[in-house]
């Protein structure tokens, strides 16, 4: 089988794609990066939002057209949409040859027709293990340390799709990280639905700090970025490690969703406004120049003008380095789906626009202070990359005034900045 991959959704989904693609290649299948060379298409779907489901279905429809024209022979669909709507997917798209749940991905080689002989040695495209490859830039990769979630926030369907929280063992994470580092990966972004819960299920208490202390000792690994921390589990020990260890980026992705106590309670979050602010202030005091990214939801059921004003003022006052803004969307199967009253779509959009404008003014202020400053930068190409403040794919970018070796981590002076786009001159 010569397969072409379409991987949709978040980095956590991408790491699943990396795993099953490596497994397929090990068992004689060939991955191609040009659709014209493929005889099969694999679509790893997302189902986090209704828009994600629509995107998945649009890709399935496009693949069906290719199959009807005789350009491909097989369509394989897997991922979150399958786990959420498996029977519906089969009924709506009978042209799909194989529909696989997330749990079945590890057996994908046995569930599709095999061609060729077992490959004992993997080519350089495979990085960390016999069942892993990197589909990101060679120098930067995601390292998933756990799957599933126990938080059960009212708006989120992930626990019902992915199941309860399940950590990889420390030994397994370290082995994967070592192999990735040997393959040339310099920057790791640690991911899970909740990285700060890492190890709770295996060791009786969270072990993220212990894991970090072991990861930073790996030869060849130069930088680690922590994604998806939850505010009520961010510890002083974590802040101290970030402050004192060069290999840890001074960066934390910490989804907050709101700051109004009314909304936090309705969303079934595990920290109130006072606790959230206390954690954020602790981070700012403990880790000089820390970059904090967060997400907020506007238009959650029963969000009042007062609730929104609290959020808007909070964004203006705290000055986050990066903010994702989402209009609430009713997801079937979640507690929030039946909550009342629902907010009108026009109000949701208005509030999202106001919050985006507030954050835009915040970034203008950050950029004024950033101009002329020397910061650490990683090159994603000879003429572009990111500052330490920016995670791959979701945050800002920086352009270089002169070519730099791809994958290099170096110091640069910011000479211009507008929005999330900056221009930097490498410091000799």
Check: CB of residue 377 under 8 Å from CB of residue 387: yes
- 376 is written with which tokens? 């650490």
**Residue corresponding to tokens 């970018």:** 397
* Segment 248-266, tens digit of pLDDT: 999 999 999 999 999 999 9
At residue 194, the pLDDT reads 96
Whole-angstrom distance, CA of residue 350 vs CA of residue 410: 41
Q: What are phi and psi of 398, to 5 degrees?
A: -135, 140
Whole-angstrom distance, CA of residue 31 vs CA of residue 21: 7
- Residue count (the chain): 428
Whole-angstrom distance, CA of residue 410 vs CA of residue 398: 13
Q: Which domains does the chain have, with CATH numbers?
A: 2-111 (3.40.50.12160), 140-370 (3.80.30.20), 374-426 (2.40.50.140)
Whole-angstrom distance, CA of residue 74 vs CA of residue 51: 25
Check: CB of residue 11 under 8 Å from CB of residue 58: no
At residue 117, the pLDDT reads 32
Check: CB of residue 417 under 8 Å from CB of residue 373: no
Check: CB of residue 162 under 8 Å from CB of residue 178: no
At residue 113, the pLDDT reads 53
Whole-angstrom distance, CA of residue 401 vs CA of residue 356: 30
- Helix 50-68 and helix 80-92: axis angle, to 10°? 50
Whole-angstrom distance, CA of residue 408 vs CA of residue 382: 9
**Residue corresponding to tokens 């997302």:** 46
At residue 132, the pLDDT reads 57
At residue 106, the pLDDT reads 82
- The DSSP bridge pattern shows strands 322-327 and 291-298 to be parallel
Q: In what order do the strands lie in the sheet with 140-144?
A: 140-144, 187-191, 223-226, 248-253, 291-298, 322-327
pTM: 0.86
Check: CB of residue 328 under 8 Å from CB of residue 297: yes
At residue 112, the pLDDT reads 67
Q: pLDDT truncated to tens, each residue of the chain (428 aa)?
A: 899 999 998 888 899 998 888 888 888 889 999 999 999 999 999 988 778 899 999 999 999 999 999 999 999 999 999 988 878 898 999 999 999 988 888 888 776 654 333 333 333 333 334 455 678 888 999 999 999 999 999 999 889 888 999 999 999 999 999 988 988 999 999 999 999 999 999 999 999 999 999 999 999 999 999 999 999 999 999 999 999 999 999 999 999 999 999 999 999 999 999 999 999 999 999 999 999 999 999 999 999 999 999 999 999 999 999 999 999 999 888 999 999 999 999 999 999 999 999 999 999 999 999 999 999 999 999 999 999 999 998 999 999 999 999 999 999 999 999 999 999 999 98
């Amino acid at each position: 089988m010569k397969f072409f991959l379409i991987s949709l959704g978040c980095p956590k989904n991408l790491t699943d794609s990396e795993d099953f693609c490596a497994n397929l290649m090990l068992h004689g299948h060939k991955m191609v990066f040009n659709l014209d060379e493929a005889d099969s298409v694999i679509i790893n779907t997302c189902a986090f939002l209704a828009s994600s489901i629509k995107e998945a279905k649009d890709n399935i429809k496009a693949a069906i057209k290719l199959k009807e024209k005789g350009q491909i022979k097989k369509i394989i669909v897997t991922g979150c949409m399958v786990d959420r709507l498996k029977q519906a997917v089969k009924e709506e798209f009978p042209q799909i040859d194989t529909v696989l749940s997330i749990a079945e991905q590890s057996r994908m080689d046995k569930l599709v027709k095999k061609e060729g002989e077992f490959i004992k040695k993997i080519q350089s495209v495979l990085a960390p293990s016999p069942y892993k490859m990197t589909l990101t830039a060679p120098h930067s990769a995601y390292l998933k340390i756990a799957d599933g979630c126990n938080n059960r926030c009212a708006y989120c369907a992930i626990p019902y799709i992915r199941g309860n929280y399940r950590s990889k063992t420390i030994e397994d994470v370290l082995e994967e990280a070592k192999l990735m580092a040997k393959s040339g990966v310099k920057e790791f972004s640690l991911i899970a639905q909740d990285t700060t819960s890492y190890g709770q299920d295996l060791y009786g208490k969270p072990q993220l700090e212990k894991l970090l202390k072991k990861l930073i000792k790996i030869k060849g690994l130069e930088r680690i970025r922590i994604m998806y921390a939850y505010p009520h589990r961010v510890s002083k020990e974590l802040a101290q490690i970030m402050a004192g260890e060069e290999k840890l980026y001074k960066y934390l992705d910490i989804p907050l969703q709101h700051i109004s106590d009314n909304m936090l309670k309705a969303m079934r979050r595990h920290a109130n406004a006072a606790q959230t602010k206390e954690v954020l202030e602790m981070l700012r005091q403990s880790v000089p120049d820390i970059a904090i990214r967060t997400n907020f939801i506007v238009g959650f059921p029963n969000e009042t003008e007062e609730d929104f004003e609290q959020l808007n003022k909070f964004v203006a006052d705290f000055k986050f380095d990066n903010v994702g803004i989402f209009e609430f969307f009713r997801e079937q199967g979640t507690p929030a789906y039946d909550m009342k009253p629902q907010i009108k779509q026009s109000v949701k959009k208005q509030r999202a626009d106001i919050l985006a404008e507030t954050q835009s003014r915040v970034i203008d202020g950050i950029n004024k202070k950033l101009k002329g400053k020397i910061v650490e930068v990683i090159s994603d190409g000879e003429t572009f990359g990111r500052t330490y403040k920016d995670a791959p794919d979701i945050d800002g970018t920086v352009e270089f005034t002169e070519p730099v070796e791809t994958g290099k981590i170096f110091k640069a002076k910011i000479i211009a900045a507008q929005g999330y786009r900056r221009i930097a001159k490498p410091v000799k």
